[in-house]
Structure 1
Amino acid sequence: MKALMVDVDGVVVVHPDPKGWSANLERDLGLKIEDLQTQFFEPNFHDIVHGRAALRERLGPVLTEIAPHLSCDQLCAYWFENDSHLDHGLLSQLAAFREQGVALHLATVQEHERAAYLWNDMGLKDHFDAIHYAADLGHAKPADGFYATIEARTGFAAEDLFFIDDKAANVEAARARGWKAAVWTGKDRLAELVARI
């Protein structure tokens, strides 16, 4: 194993509330998550997360309709800040692998703005060697192109890689590509997962 590829949401970033970052959205910002889901995420996020549209370009007009009291800046700041609880226990386990010479890379489905926030504002650049994300790759998990493009960009062969993700479909797609991979539940230690494969 030359590199560990690590998912973000549900793995490195965890949610104290099972409802996630939007648990108190209506209380705090006067916006129902159901409205944001149906008016913004469902019709727009596929294009945004594949890099075919900018977040604010699609979010601005929607907010004008469903929450004219909110700006893109306000909603994005709230979203990113409330979606930023790091699993420090996992980061510590990952650091042990890095000390042994294993490269650490993030492999995640993100659009450009939150990817930058994760990397810079949350300081994941201090824990990982690189970030590979959907909007930059032009592919999202579990599409084969996501994994293939990471291989092409890094120069790592499939057999060099170990991948953890909280979604079984993403793990199965990585395995189909030839990567070693395991579903991350947070219950097992990372070293144990790696040793089993």
Structure 2
Amino acid sequence: MTEPRYKLIAWDFDGVLNANVQNGVFKWMTTFEEDTGLPIDSLANYLFSGRFQQAMVGEADLHELVGSWAAEHGVPHRAGEVIDYWFDKDHIPDEKTLDIVQRARRAGITNVIATNNEVYRADWIEEMGFGEHMHTVFAAGRMRLAKPDLAYFAHIENALGHGGKDVILVDDMAENVEAARQHGWDAFHFVPGCHDALAAKLGLSEG
């Protein structure tokens, strides 16, 4: 049997394993206002002006942030309802990517999720079954580190004992791909329709 090209594949979640990003916009944001009657611009401006970034690395609580927004804008919905809508609407598994994951597992390669999600969504990722495909899930909120910080990649190396060119990051963000390469890993920039190229890069093409 041919030796696998990589010992460890670190998979980004949003936009790679989960096909919820279209033209740089998360799916839930395109339907939120129509489905809930709540103002998406208000929520987006409140969350993504630095507050969510704090939650992403465990320095703030997402439920508390959404709850504060709701109270500030007189929104009758509970924070949990808003977040449940967000997470559930963005549950769009990329079956083609997951098929490649299965090929990697059959080849004896260790697979992990390496995501910049905060703790609640990291739990949700596992609850939705994505974790079943993986050795483990590394999430920024649990690690208190986020890509492209090079310490993020070092944390995964130290946890699993694989490093250098034995490891490849698959990510849809160019800055994360560049950071992984700077750290000494290989990396693949995931873009729509790249599944065959990805499988070839990983040495997992069919036939």
Residue matched to 2:153: 147
Q: Is the 8 A contact 2:63 2:83 kept in 1?
A: no
Q: In the TM superposition, what is the alpha-carbon distance from 1:40 to its structure 2 partner?
A: 2.3
Q: How much has 1:173 moved relative to structure 2?
A: 0.3
Runs of 4 or more off by more than 3 Å in structure 1?
16-19
The answer for the alignment partner of 2:142 in structure 1 is 136
Secondary structure of the residue aligned to 2:96 is helix
Distance 1:67 1:92, change over 3 A: farther
Within the alignment, does 1:52 sit opposite 2:74 as a pair? no
Q: Is the 1:139–1:146 Cα contact (8 Å) retained in structure 2?
A: yes
Confirm whether residue 12 of structure 1 aligns to residue 17 of structure 2.
yes
For residues 30 and 136 of structure 2, what CA distance do their matches in structure 1 show? 30
Residue 200 of structure 2: which of 188, 192, 197 is its match? Answer: 192
Aligned length: 194
**Partner Cα separation in structure 2 for residue 56 and residue 5 of structure 1:** 28
Could you give the per-residue CA deviations for residues 157-178 of structure 1, whole angstroms, max 9, x where no partner exists?
Answer: 2232111101111101000001
Structure 1, unmatched stretches of 5+, are: none
Listed as ranges, the matches of 1:9-48 within 5 Å are 9-15=14-20, 18=23, 19=25, 20-48=27-55
**What is residue 186 of structure 2 aligned with on the other side?**
180
The answer to whether structure 1 residue 69 and structure 2 residue 76 are counterparts is yes
Q: Which residue of 2 aligns with 1:119?
A: 126
The answer on whether the counterparts of 1:8 and 1:108 sit within 8 Å (CA) in structure 2 is: yes
Task: Look up the SS of the partner of 1:8 in the other structure.
Answer: coil
- Residue 165 of structure 1 aligns with an amino acid whose one-letter code is D
Instruction: Tell me the TM-score normalised to structure 2 length.
Output: 0.88
Q: What TM-score, normalized by structure 1, do the two folds share?
A: 0.92
Aligned equivalent of 2:3? none
Matches within 5 A, 1:79-94: 79-94=86-101
Secondary structure in 2 aligned to 1:23? Answer: helix
How far apart, in 2, do the equivalents of 1:101 and 1:183 lie?
A: 23
Instruction: Write the deviation string for residues 22-62 of structure 1: whole angstroms up to 9, x where unpaired.
Output: 11111111212110111223131111001111111222111
**Residues 17 and 23 of structure 1 are in contact (CA less than 8 Å); yes or no, is this contact kept in structure 2?**
no
3-state SS of the aligned residue for 2:202?
A: helix
- Does the 8 Å CA contact 2:15/2:21 hold for their aligned counterparts? no
- Whether the aligned pair in 2 keeps the contact of 1:14 and 1:87 (CA below 8 Å) is yes
